[in-house]
A = this chain, B = another copy of it.
Amino acid sequence: MGTTLWGGRFDGASDARMRAFGDSFSFDWRLASYDVTGSIAYAAALLDAGLLSPEEHGAIVSGLVAIAAEFAAGTFESSSDDEDVHTAVERRLTELIGETAGKLHTGRSRNDQVATDVRLYVLDAVDGVTAAVRAVQTALVTKAEEHRDAIMPGYTHMQAAQPILFSHWLLSFFWKLERDRTRLRDLRARTAVCPLGSGALAGNPFPIDRDALATELGFDSASENSLDAVEDRDFVAEFLAAAAVLQTHLSSLAETFILWAGDAYGFVRLDEAHCTGSSLMPQKRNPDVLELIRAKAGRIQGHLCGFLTTLKGLPSGYNKDLQEDKEGLFDVVDTLMAELPIVADVVAGLEVNAERMAAACEEAMLATDLADYLVDRGIPFREAHRIVGVVVRAAESAGCPLGALSVETYRGIHPAFGEDVHAVFDVHRAIARRAVKGGTAPEAVDRQIEAAHGVLAA
């Protein structure tokens, strides 16, 4: 056997620099367990098709199992000739069982082999990320139940808008993450299609049972077209896109906590374990971990864009360009699997300063409720809105909150204001009024929590 899989073809030695540039074993060794799993299944298919004897099959499977153990134990020794994980495994198999190893590649190409490996990897990654997202969701619901009644300003345009329950705010992220889980579920189905048996491009020339192979490997089905099977990397792009959207949620959550943990807001305090200090300023308590989570939206989006760019304009047929599918994918999975448990911890470890949150609920936030008061007295909302604008300016001129204006002042502005106008200035009343589905009223939040538990239990 030559030093490379295609050793018989070339006279000259391959240029070392080029080899270092083109070889992928430095990163695709991470697919080793999937490669072995795929090969064991393929050996069974060759056995069924009469292309391996039971003895040959036994030898191959034993060798592969031993190789998997070497990878798992970290004792696999690579050779400088290992272009990629597939050649490394085959080279080692030959060392272990001799030239019978050469029968494993019958009808198979690295093109269908690597497509199978990467899909198996993504299926596992989807399951891991889904579970990690679920853990964050659980932390959010738990925290919401714990602080169900804490009130705070709801913000739009980063300005206090209307009072809400903090629990309602926490749950808003629950639903974002729930969408992320459904996206992962949907792309999982498109990933669970087995390309093995497609050969280099035209299909396997031996009578392999591809449906059995797919089932054996845990796929839902075998691919419909061999050309598409070896070049399709949609599932990678789609996974990266789902990760990018998920990361916008994490990034937004991180930004909000960074703000609220700062001196100016002071709504929450992060657990010390989630802060770092300063090498220069002894008083600092920096939310480094959240800043990194915010930042990593760039990293993940970058991998998405990069890979879409790589795919752009490729002529059909397997092209080596597709080798660029792996490093970004691995990095995204590693990033998500590192940060999601941290996000769950941050949520669980959050110390809530309910007093400061409540204190930030100024009466100006009830201006809409004041307009609604007029609506209840028959004034069209648009006109009520205009009248309350006048009230807001009057309070600003007087340098006092809305509720400190007298009934006379109110009636001077508009006769529809009654003696009971001050009843409007009750934050809890304002919150309780928003009792429609999805609203911030305590009863609506209770229904939301119930729905969230239902989703988690599903």
Contact = CB atoms under 8 A, between A and B. Distances in A.
A82 interface: no
A87 to B, nearest CB: 8
Given A12-B272, A156-B200, A228 B176 contact: yes
Given A201-B162, A202-B431, A444-B203, A226 B438 contact: yes
Contacts of A162: 199-202, 281
Contacts of A227: 154, 164, 168-169, 172, 440
A422 interface: no
A403 to B, nearest CB: 13
Among A10, A271, A382, chain B packs the most CB atoms within 10 A around the CB of A382
Contacts of A321: 291-292, 294-295
A147 interface: no
A256 interface: yes
Contacts of A315: 155, 158, 252, 255-256, 259
A456 interface: no
Nearest to A317: B155
B302 A303 contact: yes
A437 to B, nearest CB: 5
A251 B201 contact: no
A9 B179 contact: no
A282 B224 contact: no
Contacts of A328: 299, 302
A392 B161 CA distance: 36
Interface residues of A, number: 205
A372 interface: yes
A303 B105 CA distance: 37
A277 B6 contact: yes
Contact of A284 (B6, B102, B282): B6
Among A161, A338, A381, A390, chain B packs the most CB atoms within 10 A around the CB of A161
A448 to B, nearest CB: 6
A163 B200 CA distance: 11
A316 interface: yes
Interface stretch (A72-80, A116-124, A305-313): A305-313
Interface string A60-101: 000000000000000000000000001100100010000111
B238 A198 contact: no
A215 interface: no
B314 A90 contact: no
Given A186-B186, A283-B367, A385-B5, A310 B324 contact: no
A155 B200 contact: no
Contact of A154 (B21, B51, B156, B317): B317
A22 B226 CA distance: 34
A320 B295 contact: yes
Contact of A100 (B106, B265, B307, B380): B380
Nearest to A211: B437
A252 B322 CA distance: 13
Interface of A is mostly: helix
A129 B347 CA distance: 40
Interface stretch (A28-36, A130-138, A358-366): A358-366
Contacts of A127: none
B5 A382 contact: yes
Contacts of A2: 386
Nearest to A267: B264
A201 B431 CA distance: 11
Interface in A404-450: 430-431, 433-441, 444, 448
A115 interface: no
A201 B154 contact: yes
A13 B271 CA distance: 11
A353 interface: no
Interface string A348-388: 00000000000010101101111110010000111101111
A105 B309 contact: no
**A-B CB proximity, top 3 nearest:** A302-B306, A6-B277, A203-B439
24 contacts: A5-B382, A8-B393, A9-B392, A15-B345, A87-B279, A94-B382, A102-B383, A107-B381, A156-B200, A156-B319, A157-B320, A169-B227, A175-B223, A179-B190, A205-B434, A223-B438, A226-B439, A248-B314, A256-B315, A259-B259, A283-B388, A296-B310, A298-B309, A301-B309
